[in-house]
Every structure is written in structure tokens, then in C-alpha cells.
Amino acid sequence: MPNKALSGVKTTRLIKLDIRSIHADDTKVMAACFEAIGWRSKSSDLFERYLAEQNEGAREVLVAFVENEFAGYITVKWKPSYEPLAAVGVSELQDLNVLPNFRRRGIGTGLVRAAEDLVKTHSDRIGIAVGLHPGYNAAQRLYVQLGYVPDGNGITVGEVAVREGQEITLNDDVVLHLEKSLASAHTG
């Protein structure tokens, strides 16, 4: 007989989530996982470049593992090329990706929060850009739920502002830039 006290209560399976900085031996594993789902742009070359940028202090790369299996990653670009952020010294979260079989389990949220905690040591604000085509629907919702709001500069294509009436092709280069105050954000 069902427990009436639990009727209608959503239950989730607890997972062992480990988030840490990328290591050299992660790059090939990450690339293989993305290649397995057909994402060829997430190559060893990309992850090795990210690792080199981390070693130079230009970027931090956080990787997530669930029970020792690679699940996703996010990067923090300490000095972004997006001028409104760069001009005021605000870092930017970039390239959040969670493998499809690990989505909707809190991994994206965990990665964003871990990255925010890193940025808090340098700044009280953070930025992120999100694509506008349907492939980014889940990310758009996630960022709003985590307290990100539009930066007030409209959308850009390749970091160039779109003018009213301008025709554009909706692809990965069309983004809305968001910001969040970290002054009263979560801790740990």
C-alpha cells in the first residue's frame, strides 16, 4: 500500500558528484565522450587548449564526474573578450556542457555554482552568454533559475551588437549576455 505521506512527492536518486579542475589525462576522455554522441567540435585539441589556458592563468576548467564517469564541464574565462564585461573586469562562464545521459540531475547547476564560487574570490559579478536557438532552451531556463538576468545590451552575433531591423541567421553565434551579482549568492 502506498505511503500517503509521500503521495505526490518527487524523489530523486542521490548521485556522487565530484567537481574539480581539469587534468591532462582528462582531455582525451572528454573528447571521446563527446565524439560518442556526435559532437566533433568538442575535440582533444579544444580541451588541450583549455588546459593550456588554465595553466597560463587565463581560464579555469571545471570537470564533473558522477561515480568516476565524466559527465560535463564548464570554463571560467578570467578576462573575456565581450567588451561590456572586459571593460569592468568581470569574468565570464563559458562552454557549459553536460552529456545527455547525465542531464536533469543537478550537474549543470553544480558546475555553475562551483564556477561562481571560484569567481567570488575575484569579483562580486559574473557574466555568461546563452544561445537563442532551441538547442539552448534548457540552458536559458537554468540560468534564469540561478539568478542570471540580461545585461541590458541586447543580443550579439559574434560579440557584435545586433541593430534593430538587422536580419540574422539564428545559429550558435547569436547570444544574449547575462549577468549575476555574487554579493549575496549561495556559498559552497
Q: How many CB atoms sit inside 10 A of residue 41's CB? A: 8
The model's pTM: 0.87
Q: How far apart are CA 65 and CA 73, in angstroms?
A: 9
Question: How is the chain split into domains, by residue range?
Answer: 12-181
pLDDT band of 13, cuts 50, 70, 90: low
Is the confidence at residue 6, as pLDDT, over 90?
no
Supply the pLDDT for residue 10.
42
Looking at residue 79, the DSSP 8-state letter turns out to be S
Do the beta carbons of residue 25 and residue 50 sit within 8 Å? no
Sign (positive/negative) of CA torsion 27, 30, 36, 41?
A: negative
| DSSP β-bridge partners for residue 155 | 176
Angle CA(153)–CA(154)–CA(159) in degrees, nearest 5?
80
Res. 53 pLDDT band, cuts 50 70 90? very high
The whole-number pLDDT of residue 164 equals 94
Phi, psi of 96 (to 5 degrees): -75, 125
The pLDDT-based confidence of 5 (bands split at 50, 70, 90) is very low
How many residues are present in the chain?
188
CATH number of 12-181: 3.40.630.30
Chain centroid offset of residue 102 CA: 14
Q: What value does the mean pLDDT take over residues 80-106? A: 94
Distance between CA atoms of 80 and 95, rounded to whole angstroms? 13
- Three cell numbers at 128? 555568461
Instruction: Say if CB 105 and CB 69 are below 8 A apart.
Output: no
DSSP string, 120-148: HTT-SEEEEEEE-SGGGHHHHHHHHHTT-
Alpha carbon distance 38, 105 (integer Å)? 22
